Amino acid sequence: MISSKLLGLSGLLVFISILLFVFFGPWLKITKIFCQIDTTPCPELLWQTLNPLYGQPLWQVKADILIRHIKATYRYANVAIKLEPPQSVRITIHAPVPFARLQSATDSAVTVIDASGTIIDQTVAGDNLPLIINSAASPQALPLAITLVQLLQTNYLNFVKLNISDPFTLEIDLNSGILVRFSILKDLSAQVNSLQLILRQATIDHTP
């Protein structure tokens, strides 16, 4: 009976030792970190966040917390972290693409945003990007303003700026000096098509 108990205790101790080795030994400690932004390696600044991961047990890495930290600190909108046992972590980042300049209603400060409306690093040059002025200070109208800019670009309609004049109206200053108003309560695509027809007809009418 005693021998059976000793054998059972020995087996339990062996099992605990194996668990301790697996979870706290060198087997699952991070030795490789792969980090890539689109097709390029991650910058040195980002590695200041990643380097402390070396030597940590893989199972202790909180991927969701790390993703939130990278997004908040470095303004990357799309971050994925994959734990690759036994000793590797892979970070894949898709860098935001500058889409437009956004000017607020309260001051003249201009920020650069991507197509989702997310603010990009202030150091990004955006002089050649479309200008959106949010005079109405309406966050609800901003996605529709972005959609309108995309429609205008798709239809090769050049403009100077887009102004969210009130929560329901988008104003476009065309390169020709014409001011066009769009209602966000109506289909924007249909309104752009109508504008294209009007401009085309005006061009025909003025052709000698």
User: pLDDT, tens digit, for every residue of 40-67?
Assistant: 899 898 999 999 999 988 888 999 999 9
Q: Which has the higher per-residue pLDDT, 171 or 98?
A: 171
pTM of the full structure: 0.62
Shortest CA distance to 35 belongs to which of 76, 6, 96?
Answer: 76
Q: Is 180 in a helix, a strand, or coil?
A: strand
Lowest average pLDDT, out of 41-55, 120-134, 156-170, 188-202, goes to 120-134
C-alpha span between 193 and 110 (Å, rounded): 30
Q: Beta strand pairing status for 100-103 and 78-84?
A: unpaired
Mean of pLDDT over the chain: 83
In this prediction, residues 195-202 reach a mean pLDDT of 86
**What count of other Cβ atoms lies within 10 Å of the Cβ of residue 102?**
23
Shortest CA distance to 53 belongs to which of 18, 91, 17?
Answer: 91
Q: At what angle do helices 142-154 and 188-205 cross, to 10 degrees?
A: 40
Cβ atoms of residues 82 and 67 within 8 Å: no
pLDDT digits (tens, 9 = 90+) for 155-168: 989 999 999 999 99
Q: Residues of the chain with pLDDT > 90: what percent?
A: 43
Q: Is 96 left (phi over 0), alpha (psi -120 to 50) or beta?
A: beta
Burial class (CB in 10 A: 0-12, 13-18, 19+), 1: exposed
Q: Is 126 left (phi over 0), alpha (psi -120 to 50) or beta?
A: alpha
